[in-house]
Amino acid sequence: MNDLVFSLNVTIPVFLTMAAGFFLHEIGSIDDVFAGKLNRFVFRVALPVSLFRQLAVNDFRSVWDTRFAVFCFVVSAICIAASFLIGRKLYDRSTAAEFTQAAYRSSQALLGVAYIQNMYGRDSVMTALMIAASVPLYNIMAVIVLMNGKEDGTVNKKDAVRGSILGIITNPIILGIVSGMIYSFLRLPLPGIPSKVLSNIGGLASPLGLLALGASIDPRKVGGKIKPAVLASVLKLVGWAAVFLPIAILIGFREEQLAVLIIMFGAPTTVTSFVMARSYGHEGTVSSNTVVITTLVSAFTLTMWIFLVRGLGMI
């Protein structure tokens, strides 16, 4: 019973905050424009600041874990490849492209911070390591998959690749992580007042991000191409975790590392997947459906994974 209470205390506050965002959107307190501005603030300012501070206040040399970073990168690559092969086997090119991105691309940057804070009562450097190892690969492969999923040649591939690389280099989240690493490696001090200011700004990332995420979800828009969305959701919430969590346990990952991996494998599909699908000329139906389904169901599946691993005494 204690393990179940622990698991619910981790996941339910996150889900209820998203539900509050949905409710506030329904009654008009948060409209689409405001939700979009909240999202931009979180991903351009609050979350990068939070990740920078997590790294800057720690001795990064002592907490760096090459094995963990490599594992995150390799497993991300495997999930992307498997999603691509399944999508190409079952669906037409455009549907397969959306399916591929929806089945692997998590909102782990935002939710990783939120869930780990609930679990341990503090930030975790392992979250930043996981993001650094997986997010650039996610973004690069999303562009490649979506770009090559169009048959009409409407996308300029050269410009798309150039834009993708530039986008990764200038990604605020990646910049926050890299600058935090450099700051820590140089062992520069972070005095109390600046640290407090950064903590206040970074602390806005989880609540505002979750509210904006909830406000962006509209279950009424689910419809059409539901089967690929359901399959992508099953892979995103259950499939990858069922395959790779046992491997992670056998390798020896425990506590914060294992908790971060649960979020990486089982977090819902990011809303960005729909935005990118539309920007590359796809219908966006599979992407939007998967975002809604995984966001709603992840409260239960993530609780299950945390409960199972907690029951084994590994987190």
What's the rounded Cα separation, in Å, for the pair 171 and 285? 26
Q: Residue 219's pLDDT is what?
A: 82
Residue 269 forms beta bridges with which residues?
106
Q: Domain coordinates of the chain in residue numbers?
A: 2-310
For the chain, 315 residues long, give each residue's pLDDT as a single digit of tens. 788 889 999 999 999 999 999 999 999 999 999 999 998 999 999 999 999 998 888 887 777 899 999 999 999 999 999 999 999 999 999 999 999 999 999 888 888 888 988 888 777 888 889 998 998 899 889 888 988 876 555 556 666 667 667 777 788 988 998 899 899 888 888 888 999 999 999 999 999 999 999 998 888 777 778 999 999 999 999 999 999 999 999 999 999 999 999 999 999 999 889 888 888 888 899 999 999 999 999 999 999 999 999 999 998
Nearest Cα residue to 215 out of 24, 48, 54, 1: 24
Q: Residue 63's pLDDT is what?
A: 77
Q: Residue 253's pLDDT is what?
A: 95
**What sign has the CA pseudo-torsion 163, 165, 167, 170?**
negative
Selected from 3.90.320.10, 3.60.40.10, 1.20.1530.20, 3.10.440.10, the CATH number assigned to the domain covering 2-310 reads 1.20.1530.20
Contact by Cβ (8 Å): 121, 312: no
Nearest Cα residue to 305 out of 230, 248, 251, 227: 248
